[in-house]
Structure 1
Amino acid sequence: MDDSWWATNLKALKSKAKRLEALTRMNTAVSKHSALPRQIIRRLMATSELYECATVDDTKDPSVDVAVELLGHCVHQLPVDTADDQLPGLLGRSLSHPNPALRFVVLNSLLKELRRQLNAGQLHTLPDNELVLLILDELKQPETEGSSIAIAILSIVLGQRVNEAVVQAKLVQLLQQNEVVRCRAYELGVSLAKSSASVLSAVEFILDAALSELDNDDVLLQASVMEVLVPLAEQNHGLSYMERRRVFDIISTRVQRIEENPLDALLIPSIMKFFGKIAAVQPQKIITGYPHMLACLFQQLQSEDENILPTAMDTLANLASTPQGKVLLHLHFSTAMLETFKKYGSYTKKLSAALKERLLNSLDVIYSVEIKPTKEIDGILKSWFESFTGGAQVNIIMDLINTPFPDLQLAALALLKTMCRLYSWAIVALKNTGGAIEFLLSRQKDLHREVKFLKWEILDMLAVSAEFTPTETVRFTAYVNEGPFHIQADLNIATEPQGNA
C-alpha cells in the first residue's frame, strides 16, 4: 500500500456514504501490519476527518467504533517517546476529544508505555507541560474509567512539574469543581504526596482542601475523603503531616460527640474503616492512641447489626493483620478480643451465608502471617481461636464446610488451610474433631472442584505433620499422590448364576 492508497481512503472519509468502508479498509491494514512506517501513522493521526468519524452522534453510526479502533491501533504503533516534542500535538486531538472511548484508548497506551519505562528504570522527562495539562483535564470529565488512568499517569509524571505555575493553576482549578472532580484531585494529591516530603509540600494545598471537606455536611463526601486519605499514612512523612493537622483527633472526636450530631452516626462505619486501614500500616498509633475508637468497634462487633458488621469485621481484621497489631490488641484489649471471638462463634450459626463468608475471610486475614509466628503470637492466636470454637476442636469450621453453599465451603476450607499451614495446635484441633479427617479423605463426587483442591492441599500438609500415626500418614500420602480430582472406581463384583443341580 503506497501513499496514494492511504490518500484515497482518507479522502473518502469526507463522504458519509463511503466513510465506513474506507475506515474498515484502513483499520484492517493497520491491524495486520504491526510496524507501519511512522509517517503513515502520523499522517493518520493528523487527519481531522478521522476524529470527526470518531465523534458520537444520535444515529449510532457504526463508523464511530471503527474510527476509535483505528486510532487505537495508530496510538499502539506510535512510539510513545515522552521526550518527543511532537507527542502533545499527535495525542492532543485524542485527549481532548468528546468521545470518552477514544480518550481511554490513548490514556491506556500512554500509561502502559510509562510503566514499561519505569520497570526499565528509564523514565523520560515530558517535553513540556502541554501533555500534562491535557491529562489533568481528563479529571473533569464525567466518566470514571479515563480519570482513573489519568491519575495513574499523573502520579508517575507530575512529580517532575508539580511546582510549575501553570500546573499549580490547573490543580487549583480542579479544586473549584464539583465534589467528584475534587475527590479525584484529592486522590491525585495523596498519590503524589506519598512519593516524598518535598512533593508533599508542593501539593499540601490539595491535602488541606481535602481535610476541609471533613467539616462538610455531606456524609458521603466525608466518607470518600477519608477513604482517599488512608494511603497518606503509609509513609512517615505522610503520617507526620496528618498528625500536624490533627487528622486522627478531628475524626475520632466525631465518634466521642455522636450525641451532639446524630447524623454523624452514619459516618461511624467509614470512620472505623479509616482507623482500621491506618492501623494496618501504623498499629501502634491507632491501637494505643485511640482506645475509645477500639471501644466503639468492639461495641459494633457485639451489636448483631448486619448493616454494620461487615465493615466492623474488616476493621478488626486490619487492626490484627500485623504481628505488632496482634500483640497490641492482646496487651490492651485482651478481654474484648476474647469476647469478640466468642461472639464470632455464635455468629456462625445465626448470620446470613454471605456474612458468615465475610467473617471467615476476616479471620483468614488475622491468622495469615508472612513469616513463622513467634511463640507469643502463636499463643495469642490459639487463645482467640479456642474462644471462637469453644474448645480445642474445629467443629464450627466443619459445620460451615458441610453447608450447601460453595462460597461458604471454600471460605471455611481456606481458613482451615491457613491455620494448618502455620499452627501445629490447629492440626491437633483438626485431628481431635470427629469426622473431620474422614471428610478430607472422602472422594465425594458432588463437591465443587475448588473444594476438592483445597481438601487436597490440606491433606498435603497433614501428610508431613508429626501429629499423626504412620498408618494415617500413609493414607494421607496415598490421597495426595492420587491427586485432588481422582475418581475411585466402582467395584462391581460379578457372580456367575448357579444352575439347577
Structure 2
Amino acid sequence: MEENWWAVYLKDLESEGKRQDALTRLNAMINKQGNSLPPPVIERLLQSSTLYDCAVNEKEPLADLTIEFLGYCLEQLRLDTTDEQLPQVLQRGLTHSNPALRSLVLSSLLKELRRQSTTSEILQLPGNELLFYVLDELRQTETQCSATAISILTIVLSQRLNDADIQAKLVQLLQQNEIVRCRAYELGVMLAKHSAACLSSVEFILDAALSELDNDDVLLQASVMEILVPLAEQNHGLSYMERRRVFDLISSRVQRIEENPLDMLLIPSIMKFFGKIAAVQPQKIIAGYPQMITCLFDLLQSGDETVLPTAIDTLANLAGSVPGKTLLHVHFQPAMEQLMKKYSSYTKSASSSIKERVLSSLDVIYTLEAPPTGELSNILKQWYECFAGGQHINQIMELINTPFPDLQLAALSWLKTLCKYRWGILNVQRTGGAIEFLLSRQRDLHKDVKFLKWQIMEILSVSSDFTATETVRFTAYVNEGPYYIQSDMNVATEPQGNA
C-alpha cells in the first residue's frame, strides 16, 4: 500500500473530530496488511507526534485505540539494538506521559532482548540514548513499568557500567525519593549478580542500600533487606556482604532489641532475610548465626498469628535444602523436636490459614529432589514422630476429613510427600480407615482432592509393603483414573412363586 494512504489518515488525526474514525481505519488496515508493511512506513508511524497525542488522556477510549495500533506497529518493527535510529524511533513512546504506552514499548524492547539472549550474545548498543530513556523510567511515579525497565537494564547495562554518563545517571537515582532509590538498589543487586567485575562497578549503589539499614523508617529497612537477598546467591555477592558485615549488623539488631523497641517491628523482615539467605547458603546462616535461629524458634513457639506466617515460611527456607535439614538436626535437634510438637498443636487449634501454612511448610521440608539417604530419612522420621505423637497419620486424616477443600488439599499434599518414604507408607498402612478413605469414590469431593488421592494410590500400588490382594485393588483404582464414578444401579428381582 502506498505511503500516501497512511499519511492521509495520520493527517486526519490532527483534527479531534476525525480521530476516532481515522484510528479505526488505521487499525483495520494494519490488521489486514499483516506483516507486509515496509520498514519506512512502520518507522514513520512510530514517530508521528499526532498519533501519540491521541494517547495522552489515559481514560479516553481513544487512548486504548491508539495503544492498540502502536502495538501492531511495534510487532512489525525489527528492534535491532545495534540500529542507531532505534532510540529516535522509540523515543516518543518511551517518554510519553501515558504509563500504559510506555509499558507497551518497554515490553516490546524486553521481548527482543530476551530473544537475543536465547539465540546469541546481546548485541552491542550504538550509544547511551536508549539506556537514558529506560533509566528515566525508574524516576516515574507510576510503578507498573519499573520492573520491566529493571529487567531491560539488567540485560544491557553491564555493557556500559563504567561509562561516566551512565554512572552519573545512576548517582542521580540515588538522590531521589525512597521509591526511586529502592528501584536503583534492586537494579544494582541484579547487575552485581552478573560477576565480581559488575559488582565492583555498582558497589556505590550497594553501599547506599546498606546505609539505609540505619534509617529510622522500618518499612524502608524491610524493603532494602528484601532487595539485598539475591546478592547472596553468588559467592562474590556473599563475600561482599561479609566484607560489609551485613549479617553481623542485622543480627546485632535482634540481640539489642531492648535498646530500641521499635526494632521489634523489623523482626519478621529480619527472619525472612536470614531465611532466604539460608535457602542458598545454609551453612553460613544456620552454623554462623545460631542466635538468629534461636530467635526464629521463639517466634514459632509464640503462637502470635501476626508473625507466624513469616516465621513458618522462614523455617521452610531453612529446612528446604538437604544441607539445611542436616544442619538443623546437628545444631538444633531439641528445638526442632519441640517445634514439631507445636506444629501439631497448631493444626488442631490455630486458624485455618495457619493450619494450611503449617502443612504447606511441612510439605516443603519433606520434599526431596532425590531419594533420601538412610540418615536423612531417619532425621525426617524423628521429626514426624514428634508431630504425630505415636498416632501414625490419624491427625492428617482428621484434617483431610474437614469440609474445607483448601485444608484437605494441604493435608493430602503433605501425605503424598510422606508416602515417598517407606516409614510414611507404613504409617498409612497402620492407620485405621486411611486405606478405605483413599480407595473410596465419594462424589462430593473437590476434583483436586480426588486427583491427589489417586496420586497417593499410584505410590501405594507399587509398594512392596502390601499383600498381593491389596496391590490388585490399588492397581485397579489407579487404572480407573482419578475421576471414575461407580455405578449405583441395583438389579431388583422378585421371588418366584409356586407354579
State the match for 2:171 in structure 1.
172
Question: Deviations for 1:58-109, whole angstroms, at most 9, x for unmatched residues?
Answer: xx43211101111111111100111111100000110000000000001111
Distance of 1:392 and 1:379 partners within structure 2 = 18
State the match for 1:4 in structure 2.
4
Question: Deviations for 1:166-208, whole angstroms, at most 9, x for unmatched residues?
Answer: 1101100000111111101000000000010000000000000
Distance of 1:358 and 1:29 partners within structure 2 = 53
Distance of 1:145 and 1:85 partners within structure 2 = 28
Distance of 2:180 and 2:403 partners within structure 1 = 45
- How do residues 179-218 of structure 1 correspond to structure 2 at under 5 angstroms? 179-218=178-217
Q: Which amino acid aligns with 1:54?
A: A
**Pick aligned residue for 1:476 from 464, 468, 474:** 474
Secondary structure at the residue paired with 2:145?
helix
Distance of 1:437 and 1:77 partners within structure 2 = 59
Give the deviation of 1:497 after TM superposition: 7.8
Secondary structure at the residue paired with 2:487?
coil
Between stretches 231-240 and 137-146, larger displacement belongs to: 137-146
Distance of 2:319 and 2:365 partners within structure 1 = 6
State the match for 1:490 in structure 2.
488
Q: CA contact under 8 A between 2:47 and 2:90: conserved in structure 1?
A: no
Question: Deviations for 1:139-162, whole angstroms, at most 9, x for unmatched residues?
Answer: 111222200000011100001011
- How do residues 136-175 of structure 1 correspond to structure 2 at under 5 angstroms? 136-175=135-174
2:443 is the alignment partner of 1:445: yes
Secondary structure at the residue paired with 2:121?
coil
Q: Which amino acid aligns with 2:4?
A: S
State the match for 1:41 in structure 2.
42
Q: Which amino acid aligns with 2:77?
A: L
Q: CA contact under 8 A between 2:225 and 2:269: conserved in structure 1?
A: yes
State the match for 2:56 in structure 1.
55
Give the deviation of 1:33 after TM superposition: 3.2
Distance of 1:409 and 1:147 partners within structure 2 = 39
Question: Where does structure 2 lack aligned partners over 5 or more consecutive residues?
Answer: none
State the match for 1:29 in structure 2.
29
Distance of 1:387 and 1:90 partners within structure 2 = 66
Q: Which amino acid aligns with 1:48?
A: S
Q: Which amino acid aligns with 2:485?
A: I
Give the deviation of 1:498 after TM superposition: 7.1
Give the deviation of 1:418 after TM superposition: 1.5
Distance of 1:473 and 1:32 partners within structure 2 = 61
Give the deviation of 1:6 after TM superposition: 0.9
Distance of 1:54 and 1:425 partners within structure 2 = 64
Q: Please, what TM-score do these two structures have when normalized by structure 1?
A: 0.98
- How do residues 261-280 of structure 1 correspond to structure 2 at under 5 angstroms? 261-280=260-279
Secondary structure at the residue paired with 1:259?
helix
Give the deviation of 1:399 after TM superposition: 1.1
Secondary structure at the residue paired with 2:259?
coil
Give the deviation of 1:496 after TM superposition: 3.9
State the match for 1:363 in structure 2.
362
Give the deviation of 1:4 after TM superposition: 2.3
Between stretches 474-483 and 119-128, larger displacement belongs to: 119-128
Question: Where does structure 1 lack aligned partners over 5 or more consecutive residues?
Answer: none
2:410 is the alignment partner of 1:411: yes
Between stretches 403-412 and 392-401, larger displacement belongs to: 392-401
Q: Which amino acid aligns with 1:439?
A: F
Percent sequence identity over aligned pairs: 67
Distance of 2:123 and 2:207 partners within structure 1 = 31
Give the deviation of 1:29 after TM superposition: 1.9
Secondary structure at the residue paired with 1:485?
coil
Secondary structure at the residue paired with 2:224?
helix
State the match for 2:114 in structure 1.
115
State the match for 1:372 in structure 2.
371
Secondary structure at the residue paired with 1:172?
helix
State the match for 2:342 in structure 1.
343
Distance of 2:330 and 2:277 partners within structure 1 = 19
Secondary structure at the residue paired with 2:257?
coil
State the match for 1:293 in structure 2.
292
Give the deviation of 1:242 after TM superposition: 0.2
Question: Deviations for 1:215-251, whole angstroms, at most 9, x for unmatched residues?
Answer: 0000000000000000000000000000000000000
Q: CA contact under 8 A between 2:226 and 2:273: conserved in structure 1?
A: yes
Q: Please, what TM-score do these two structures have when normalized by structure 2?
A: 0.98
Give the deviation of 1:2 after TM superposition: 2.2
Distance of 2:356 and 2:143 partners within structure 1 = 30
Distance of 1:455 and 1:16 partners within structure 2 = 63
Q: C-alpha root-mean-square deviation of aligned residues, in Å? A: 1.3
Distance of 1:224 and 1:27 partners within structure 2 = 43
Give the deviation of 1:122 after TM superposition: 3.4
- How do residues 52-131 of structure 1 correspond to structure 2 at under 5 angstroms? 52-56=53-57, 60-131=59-130
State the match for 1:317 in structure 2.
316
